[in-house]
Amino acid sequence: MMAGAIADADGRILLTKRPDHVHQGGLWEFPGGKLEPGESPEQGLARELEEELGIRIRGSRPLIRVRHDYGDRRILLDVHRVEDYAGEPHGREGQPLRWLAPEAMDPADFPAADRPIIHALRLPSLFLITGEDPADADAFLACLDRAVARGIRLVQLRAPSLDGDSYADLVLRAYALCESRGALLLLNRDPDEVEGLPRHGLHLSARRLMESHARPGGPGEWVGASCHDAAQLARAADLNLDYALLSPVLPTLTHPGAEPLGWERFAELVDPAPLPVYALGGLGPEHLDQAIARGAQGIAAIRGLWSMRGR
Ligand SMILES: Nc1nc2c([nH]c(=O)n2[C@H]2C[C@H](O)[C@@H](COP(=O)(O)OP(=O)(O)OP(=O)(O)O)O2)c(=O)[nH]1
């Protein structure tokens, strides 16, 4: 089943309403339909969007593939993001349309399978994990400021050597910086260690993930986890986390002993995972297209995004 997340220039996404009498009827959805025999995903999506909305798409890129079991039927939705198309979308089958920013989407208005799609739309494609230990907080924050000014919107604060007040001070300053620039700051420590500290969410280590039996964090917080294999990805999905990192894809300097997954294995592991997955390990922005083609939400990096100098 193909579906299109059709975006306008402001990043709002086109939604259509399912008729009341069909499966998941009365809910909003991402328009699309079934592939016909012999069609490529791109061809099938183009045909469906022409038939349903009267638009001709000129390009699309994979966003996320979601498998879902409704009990009475199982579906596989292959969702592509569409930004380049000709024509003004209109409901050729009489279906109501609306444009909505991903942040304004309420998952309760959509079929249950769509929850990870909404997360994939809200999350950016680049995920910065901060580098260099922040002993020199000013230099560290200047580097973070440059990254956010370059357009980074998702940041995991890594500061293993700090504790007590120096960690809390760094969090306060990094949060104020991210907040002022519209970026999300995630803290990668145990929830009880960061109680009371400002943040947009939590990032769990693989160990903490496997020890958790419920999703940590408060309402409205982003929660993701580091994963290295299928069991950890499955746990991240069971806990209803918002995203996962999967690593190491390529050899890395930070984990020289770890056996890299390679892109083929990465794609195999991501395929059944019902949540957005970032590729991590030896990657930089130059790997973004390759990661997306292998089913990733995008790439996460320390070195590849932190130490970029200039501008
Ligand atoms: N197009 C689309 N389908 C979705 C979304 N979320 C979701 O669960 N679905 C499910 C609902 C349906 O079971 C299936 C798509 O159904 P469809 O309308 O294209 O096909 P259909 O129900 O007419 O299928 P059928 O009666 O011909 O068997 O995928 C979504 O966001 N977009």
| Per-residue confidence band for 131, with pLDDT thresholds at 50, 70 and 90 | confident
Model confidence over 54-110: pLDDT tens digits?
999 999 999 999 999 999 999 999 999 999 999 999 999 999 999 999 999 999 999
Ligand 1, atom 5: closest residue by C-alpha: 29
Domain assignment present for residue 119? The answer is no
pLDDT digits (tens, 9 = 90+) for 244-290: 999 999 988 777 788 999 999 999 999 999 999 999 999 999 999 99
- Does residue 193 form part of some domain? yes
**Whole-structure pTM over 0.80, yes or no?**
yes
Task: Note whether 96 and 164 are same-domain residues.
Answer: no
**Contact (Cβ atoms closer than 8 angstroms) between residue 56 and residue 86:** yes
Has residue 121 been placed in a domain?
Answer: no
Residues with CB under 6 A from ligand 1: 1, 3, 22-24, 29-30, 32-34, 73, 75, 77, 111, 113-114
Tell which atom from ligand 1 comes closest to the C-alpha of 34. Answer: 19
- pLDDT for res 300: 98
CATH number at residue 287: 3.20.20.70
Q: Ligand 1 pocket: which of 2, 16, 17, 18 to mutate (most atoms <8 Å of CB)?
A: 18
Q: Are both 134 and 98 inside the same structural domain?
A: no
Tens of pLDDT, residue by residue over 146-203, are: 999 999 999 999 999 998 899 999 999 999 999 999 999 999 999 889 999 999 999 9
Residue that is last in its domain, among 72, 103, 134: 103
Are 267 and 153 in a shared domain?
Answer: yes
Is 80 assigned a ligand-binding role in the annotation? no
pLDDT band at 210 (very low <50, low <70, confident <90, very high): very high
Structural domains counted in the chain: 2
State in Å: Cα 31 to ligand 1 middle: 9
Is residue 198 located within the same domain as residue 296? yes
CATH number for the domain including 86?
Answer: 3.90.79.10
Any idea which residue has 């009827």 for tokens? 25
203 labeled binding residue: no
Task: Decide if 67 contacts 73 (C-beta within 8 A).
Answer: no
- Which atom of ligand 1 lies closest to the CA of 73? 13
From ligand 1's centre to the CA of 172, what distance in Å?
45
DSSP codes joined into one string, the chain: -EEEEEB-TTS-EEEEEPPTTSTTTTSEE--EEPPPTT--HHHHHHHHHHHHH--EEEEEEEEEEEEEE-SS-EEEEEEEEEEEEES----TTS--EEEE-GGG--GGGS-GGGHHHHHHHHS-SEEEE--S-TTSHHHHHHHHHHHHHTT--EEEE--TT--HHHHHHHHHHHHHHHHHHT-EEEE-S-GGGSTT---SEEEE-HHHHHH-SS--S-TT-EEEEEE-SHHHHHHHHHTT-SEEEE--SS--SSSTTSPP-HHHHHHHHHTT-SS-EEEESS--GGGHHHHHHTT-SEEEESHHHHS----
Known binding residue 164? Answer is no
Q: Is residue 49 part of a domain?
A: yes
Cα 76 to middle of ligand 1, angstroms: 10
Residue 112 lies in a domain: no
Decide if 118 is inside a domain: no
Same domain as 254, residue 140: yes
**Residue 117, in any domain of the structure:** no
Task: Give residue 262's domain range.
Answer: 126-306
Closest atom, ligand 1, to C-alpha of 113 = 8
